[in-house]
C-alpha cells in the first residue's frame, strides 16, 4: 500500500497479503475444503460402485452393444450440432456486430433470447407442430436452435473487442475480405469459440427432455430410463461412468483446441472501433437469414404455446395446481440458490485473497462437478441415500445438496468478480478493531459483494427453474415443480394442459436472459 499526497490509500498485492495470511489456513480454508470434498462425492461414489460391482461385471456392463449404440449417438450428436452452432453463431455475430445491418441491436437481442426457452420446451414445440420429427436429425435441429446462443454470446463479445488494425494490415498486403476473415478474424475468436463449444457440448451430454421428445437415445435418457424402470444400480452407474468419461474427453479436447496462442494488441494507444462492413446486395439475404433463425428458435415455441393455450381455453389454467407448482419451484429455487451461494463464499474468497497452487486445485474440483450432467449427480445421491442414509432419501435436504453441487460454479464465478472489487484492507481494519474473522468478513467483503451474490443466486435459481432429471429422481414425494408438471402433462400427450407451465417458465427466464445480454454488452465496453 502507498499513500498519495492527498492521503488516498492505494491497495496492491502487498497490501492484500496481511488479510490473506491471517485467514489463509483458518476456518474459511477449512470450509472451502469441506465444500470441495462434497463436490467430489459423485465422482468418488461412482468409482467406488464400479470397484464394488467387480471388474468382470463392470466390463460386461460397459462393453455391450447398447453402450456402443449410445456412444455412436453421442459422438454423432456432438460432431453435427456443435460445429453447426459455431458456424451459425459466427455468421450471426459478424452480421450484428461488424456489418451495417439494419436494426442490429434488436437482432442481437433476438439471437440471445432463445436462452429463455428451456431446451425441452423447444422440443415440445417442434414435436407438436411436426409429429413425425424424431431421431438424430431432429435432435441436431432442435439442439442447434436451443443452444446456439451459448456460442453467440462469447463470439459476439469477442468480435466487439477486436482491434481492426490487424485486418487493415492484412488488407494492405493484398488479402481479400474472405482471406482476411479466415486468416485474421477467425483465429482471434478461438477462445470464444472453444469456451462456447465446450458449454454447448456439455449441455448436449446432460440434456434429457429434448431428446426424449424426439425419441433419440443418449446416455442421459438411458440412465434415467434404467433408473425409473428397474432401479438397476450397477447398470445405471456404469452408463454414468461412460458419460463422465465423455465429459472429461470434452474438457481435454477444449484445452487442446484452445492452445496457448495470444491475440492481444501490444503498444501505445488504444484500439479503435472497426468500421462497419457494408452489406450492399447481401443486406436483404442477411435480414432474411436472421428472420428465419428467429422464427425457428423463438417463433415456433411461442406459437406452439399460444396455440395450445387457445385450444385448451380457460380450463387448462388449473390455478390450484399451477399455484402449488409455482410455490414448490420457488421454495426449491430460493433454497438451492441460497445454499449454493453460501457454499461458494469460501472458495470465491480464497481465489481472490489467497491465490496459489492448492487454491487453484480446489477451485478446479468445484468447477469439475459443474461439468457433470445432473443425472450423474442425482444417481450418486440416490444410491448413497438408499444404501446408507435412507432417512435422507427423497428429502428436501438431499435435493438442495444436489442443486448446490450442480450449480456451484455459477455462484463462485459471480461472487469472485464482486469480491475482487472489495478492498482487503477493510477486513484487516475490522479485525484490528476487535472483530472475529467471520464477523469481519461478513461486515465488510460479504456486504460489498452483495450485488455479485444476488446475480449468482439469480443464475442458480434459473438453472433450478429449468432442471428436470435431478428433480425427477430426488424430489420429495408430493413435490411438483413447474418443470415436473409440464413433463407429466406432456408425457400424457396433454399438450394443452402443459402449455401454462411452459409459458410461466419462459416468462420467469426472460428477465435473467436480458440481464446476461446487458452484462455481455458491458464487458465489451458498450
CB 280 within 8 A of CB 178: no
pLDDT digits 0-9 by tens, 230-270: 665 677 778 888 888 888 888 788 777 766 555 555 444 44
Check if 41-259+282-297 and 311-525 are the same fold: yes
Whether the predicted pLDDT of 5 surpasses 50:
no
pLDDT at 426: 66
CA Rg value for the chain: 25
How much is the pLDDT for 136?
93
Alpha helices in 99-134 (DSSP H): 104-112, 119-129
- 34-61: per-residue pLDDT in tens? 888 888 888 888 788 778 777 787 787 7
Q: Tell me how far apart the terminal alpha carbons of the chain are, to the nearest angstrom.
A: 32
* pLDDT at residue 16, as a whole number: 41
Please choose, from the candidates 413, 363, 397, the residue with its C-alpha nearest in 3D space to the C-alpha of residue 516. Answer: 413
Q: How far apart are CA 149 and CA 299, in angstroms?
A: 15
Task: Please give the full DSSP string across 347-409, using - where no structure is assigned.
Answer: HHHHHHHS-SHHHHHHHHHHHHHHTS-HHHHHHHHHHHHHHT-GGGTT-HHHHHHHHHHHHHH
d(CA 188, CA 199): 19
**Alpha carbon of 20 to those of 415, 454, 457: distances in Å?**
17, 24, 26
Convert the pLDDT of each residue in 169-215 to its tens digit. Answer: 666 666 666 666 766 677 777 778 887 888 888 889 888 889 999 99
Query: What phi and psi, each to the nearest 5 degrees, are found at residue 3?
Result: -110, 130
More confident position, 143 or 423? 143
3-state secondary structure of 2: strand
Query: Which residues are CB-neighbours of 190 under 8 A, at least 6 positions away?
Result: 257, 258, 259, 261, 263
Q: What is the pLDDT of residues 383-420, one digit of tens each?
A: 888 888 888 888 999 999 999 998 888 888 777 766 76
Which DSSP category does 310 fall into? Answer: H
In contact, 98 and 157? CB cutoff 8 Å: no
* Domain extents in the chain: 41-259+282-297, 311-525
pLDDT band at 293 (very low <50, low <70, confident <90, very high): very high
| 457 touches 338 (CB < 8 A) | yes
Question: Would you state the pLDDT for residue 230?
Answer: 64
Q: Whose CA is closest to 297, among 74, 109, 77?
A: 109
Helix-strand-coil split of the chain, %, nearest 5: 80, 0, 20
CATH 3.40.50.720 fits 41-259+282-297, yes or no: no
User: Which phi-psi region, left, alpha or beta, contains residue 331 (left: φ > 0; alpha: ψ -120 to 50)?
Assistant: alpha
State the Cα–Cα distance between residues 222 and 230, nearest whole angstrom: 12
Q: Are 240 and 376 in contact (CB under 8 A)?
A: yes
CATH number of 311-525: 1.10.3720.10
Judge whether 336 and 461 are in contact, CB under 8 Å.
yes
Predicted TM-score of the model (pTM):
0.80
Amino acid at each position: 500500500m502507498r499513500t498519495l499526497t492527498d492521503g488516498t490509500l492505494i491497495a496492491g498485492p502487498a497490501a492484500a497479503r496481511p488479510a490473506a495470511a491471517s485467514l489463509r489456513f483458518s476456518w474459511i480454508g477449512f470450509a472451502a475444503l469441506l465444500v470441495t470434498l462434497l463436490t467430489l462425492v459423485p465422482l468418488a461414489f461412482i468409482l467406488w460402485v464400479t470397484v464394488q460391482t467387480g471388474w468382470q461385471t463392470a466390463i460386461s456392463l460397459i462393453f455391450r452393444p447398447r453402450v456402443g449404440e449410445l456412444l455412436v449417438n453421442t459422438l454423432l450428436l456432438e460432431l453435427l450440432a456443435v460445429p453447426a452452432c459455431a458456424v451459425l453463431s459466427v455468421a450471426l455475430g459478424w452480421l450484428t456486430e461488424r456489418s451495417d445491418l439494419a436494426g442490429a441491436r434488436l437482432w442481437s437481442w433476438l439471437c440471445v433470447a432463445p436462452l429463455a426457452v428451456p431446451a425441452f420446451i423447444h422440443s415440445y414445440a417442434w414435436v407438436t407442430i411436426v409429429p413425425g420429427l424424431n431421431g438424430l436429425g431432429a435432435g441436431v435441429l432442435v439442439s442447434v436452435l436451443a443452444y446456439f446462443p451459448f456460442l453467440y454470446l462469447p463470439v459476439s463479445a469477442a468480435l466487439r473487442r477486436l482491434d481492426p488494425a490487424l485486418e487493415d494490415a492484412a488488407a494492405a498486403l493484398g488479402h481479400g475480405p474472405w482471406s482476411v476473415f479466415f486468416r485474421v478474424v477467425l483465429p482471434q475468436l478461438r477462445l470464444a469459440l472453444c469456451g462456447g463449444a465446450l458449454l454447448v457440448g456439455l449441455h448436449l451430454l446432460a440434456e434429457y427432455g429434448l431428446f426424449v421428445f424426439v425419441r433419440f437415445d443418449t446416455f442421459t435418457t438411458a440412465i434415467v430410463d434404467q433408473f425409473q424402470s428397474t432401479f438397476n444400480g450397477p447398470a445405471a452407474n456404469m452408463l454414468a461412468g461412460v458419460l463422465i468419461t465423455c465429459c472429461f474427453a470434452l474438457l481435454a479436447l477444449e484445452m487442446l483446441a484452445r492452445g496457448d496462442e495470444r491475440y492481444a494488441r501490444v503498444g501505445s494507444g488504444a484500439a479503435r472501433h472497426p468500421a462497419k462492413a457494408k452489406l450492399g446486395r447481401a443486406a436483404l439475404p442477411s435480414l432474411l437469414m436472421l428472420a428465419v433463425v428467429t422464427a425457428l428458435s423463438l417463433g415456433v415455441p411461442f406459437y406452439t404455446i399460444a396455440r395450445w393455450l387457445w385450444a385448451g381455453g380457460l380450463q387448462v389454467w388449473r390455478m390450484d395446481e399451477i399455484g402449488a407448482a409455482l410455490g414448490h419451484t420457488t421454495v426449491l429455487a430460493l433454497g438451492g440458490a441460497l445454499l449454493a451461494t453460501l457454499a461458494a463464499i469460501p472458495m470465491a474468497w480464497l481465489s481472490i485473497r489467497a491465490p496459489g497452487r492448492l487454491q487453484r486445485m480446489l477451485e478446479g474440483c468445484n468447477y469439475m462437478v459443474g461439468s457433470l450432467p445432473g443425472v450423474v449427480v442425482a444417481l450418486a445421491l440416490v444410491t448413497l441415500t438408499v444404501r446408507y442414509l435412507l432417512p435422507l432419501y427423497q428429502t428436501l435436504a438431499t435435493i438442495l445438496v444436489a442443486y448446490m453441487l450442480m450449480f456451484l460454479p455459477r455462484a463462485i464465478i459471480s461472487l469472485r468478480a464482486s469480491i475482487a472489487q472489495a478492498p482487503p484492507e477493510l477486513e484487516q481494519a475490522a479485525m484490528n478493531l476487535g472483530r472475529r474473522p467471520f464477523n469481519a468478513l461478513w461486515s465488510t467483503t460479504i456486504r460489498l459483494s452483495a450485488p455479485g451474490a444476488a446475480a449468482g443466486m439469480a443464475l442458480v435459481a434459473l438453472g433450478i427453474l429449468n432442471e428436470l432429471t435431478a428433480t425427477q429422481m430426488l424430489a420429495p414425494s408430493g413435490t411438483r415443480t413447474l418443470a415436473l408438471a409440464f413433463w407429466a402433462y406432456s408425457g400424457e400427450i396433454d399438450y394443452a394442459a402443459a402449455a401454462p407451465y411452459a409459458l410461466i417458465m419462459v416468462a420467469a427466464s426472460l428477465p435473467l436472459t436480458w440481464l446476461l445480454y446487458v452484462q455481455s454488452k458491458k464487458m465489451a465496453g458498450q
